[in-house]
Amino acid sequence: MNHSKTCIVLSFLLAFAAIIPASVYAESYANPQLLVEADWLAERLNDPNLRIIDTRAQKDYQQGHVPNAVFFDRVKVWDTIGGIEGMLPPVDKVKASFEEAGISNGSAVVIYDDQGDLWAARLFWALEYLGHKDVRLLNGGWKKWKKEGRPVTTEVPQVARGSFKVELHPEKLATKEEILKNLDNPQLVIVVARSPKEYTGEDKRSSRGGHIPGAINLNWVLNITTDDVQTFLPTDELAEMFEQEGVSKDKEIAALCQTGVRGAHSYFTLRLLGYENVKVYDGSWAEWGNDPNTPVVAGNSKR
């Protein structure tokens, strides 16, 4: 092939690559089944085994939602316990909330929100922690669904109460005591999903600002695109970002933020990439930063 023909072919390939839809990315994730696209969901709206969960604000749900989607109040997986914001409510209470939403152990669950799958990821983690085996997020959530002109309804579906048997996975939940015990353990990597100013302590949201000694800062927004629909970045970009910071699959990963929501987003992202030994510290900085007995580092230094 001569030089001019090579240039033409390369130009075509580059132009084609620029219009590849985000759905193609899912094929390259280590766990692609955890993230679904709008076209996948649109084909399954009436599947009786599929429970679609909308975790936006209730007023937004009432103004329009994905057909057959059930409203799920986000505070049902986020509570203030012992003065600490962001804790998972008692397991029996969370189980009852899942059942009220029509979720059974055999249900396939797809969750969405309108914040880059931020709160959807918190619910995803809670379901996995309680042992649900088929839970997924809608890539781009409500914003992408609307932008693509997908069907919208204000009709509230009537769903039968589910039957959910809990099989707790304690390895998916990090605690303050566990992290304190392993601060010098090179096998534990603490991923802080807060903003850089929260990490350094400039933005103080607890009695003390800063971060846990040794923790690395990877703001949750780095997991998604910067456009208005906020879809997950392709696997190569995400994998490079985490690996460059030493977040490798052979390590134990504890993700946290201020109240365990942004940390859950990083948890989901790592699960999508194939990380198996990853957990959420739901107490997060609301607990650690308000405890005068826990060590804190301010500034950009890790230790």
Q: Catalytic amino acids? A: 257
Cβ neighbours for 5, distance < 8 A, ≥ 6 positions apart: none
Q: Where are the beta strands (DSSP E) in the chain?
A: 35-36, 50-54, 69-71, 79-81, 84-87, 108-112, 135-138, 173-174, 188-192, 216-217, 252-256, 278-281
What is the DSSP track for 101-169?
A: TT--TT-EEEEE-SSTTHHHHHHHHHHHHTT-S-EEEETTHHHHHHHTT---B-PPP------------
Q: What is the rounded CA–CA span in Å between residue 303 and residue 298?
A: 9
- Name the nearest CA neighbour of 51 among 88, 106, 118: 106
- What is the b/e burial string over 159-169, where b = at least 16 CB atoms within 10 angstroms of the residue's CB? beebebeeeee
Q: Where are the alpha helices (DSSP H) in 19-66?
A: 38-42, 58-63
- What is the b/e burial string over 255-286, where b = at least 16 CB atoms within 10 angstroms of the residue's CB? bbbbbbbbbbbbbbbbbbbebebbbbbbbbbb
Q: Which two tokens stand for residue 150?
A: 């997908």
